[in-house]
Amino acid sequence: MQTFESIDGDLNPAQPGDFEAMALDLFRAQALECPIYRQYLTYLGVAPLQITTVQDIPFLPISLFKHHLVMTGQWMPEVIYTSSGTTGAEVSRHAVSSVAGYLHHARRTFELFYGPLNEFHVLCLLPSYLERTGSSLVAMANDFIVASGSPHSGFYLKDLDALASKLESLRDGRKVLLLGVTFALLDLAEQFELDLRHCVVMETGGMKGRRPEITREELHGILTRSFNVPAIHSEYGMTELLSQAYSAGAGLFKCSPTMRVLLREIDDPFSPEYRGTGVIRVIDLANHHSCAFIESQDLGRVHENGDFEVLGRMDNSDLRGCNLLVG
């Protein structure tokens, strides 16, 4: 795995062909050195050397992260991130080799889309995540807060009055990022009418059982009216991944350079790449230490330019913390 130990350095493919070549190299390495993935490929009867295109790579079901530590090679995890899950539900575990590498990658991805974090005040409303340990989202948000260098940046657990006051007062010409879990942003919207045209309001998805699920259109309609903003931004990530995608509005996500989304048919788990509404499969080159080829339980649509939408969850999928609203 020597080729892929450079996440702390430069792992951004310059051209689409570079991504495909790196993905195939990583697939062949993980097919040999990731025991869970190797067993899964053996079960499918897949010979790794016969895979010659990205579209033919088998994707590991994300549910396996609930039962196994999915690791490539032999090393000691610096941290094990866990998914949120409802009370009593099994959670996914993601062993990570370098916290600094993950945070550097997440920071660089955000800044690719939104500019330097030191130009922002970063206010985070993530109560369900702060109430537990092991959240990769909290780690990322905390790093954004530190990178902003602003004394006004910080977490808000349940003090919505203080958050509303801070949001209204921060009009010093510096950009403001309000990063929040869906149900908490709805709580804020119901209790206060705020003029946040000077803010980037970004939801990370998830009702966490606190509210009934609603469509993205309903959610964004409520938030845009209550906060007087033209659009609601979104972040798409998972505990099991290291890369993120971002939407500047209308639920249309753009992938980081290390990430690509493919689809399979809903009723055929072994179908090749699919066009239309299908199950989201993610290639994450940054996940070199774990498994870079993960099949989610999310439904989506991919556009010709690689942008994608998240439309809902597969039936019988448990509710989790990635960006998911019913489409």
The tens digit of pLDDT for each residue in 289-304 reads 999 999 999 999 999 9
- Which comes out higher in pLDDT, residue 116 or 88? 116
What pLDDT does 269 receive? 82
CA 60, 63, 68, 72 torsion-angle sign: positive
pLDDT digits (tens, 9 = 90+) for 267-277: 888 777 778 89
170 Rama sector, left if φ>0, alpha if ψ -120 to 50, beta otherwise: beta
Distance CA 272, CA 263 (A): 8
Comparing C-alpha atoms, which of 243, 239, 294, 264 is closest to residue 60?
294
Distance CA 40, CA 67 (A): 13
All domains in the chain, ordered by first residue: 15-97+240-246+250-313 (3.40.50.12780), 100-236 (3.40.50)
Write down the pTM of the prediction. 0.91
Distance CA 24, CA 246 (A): 25
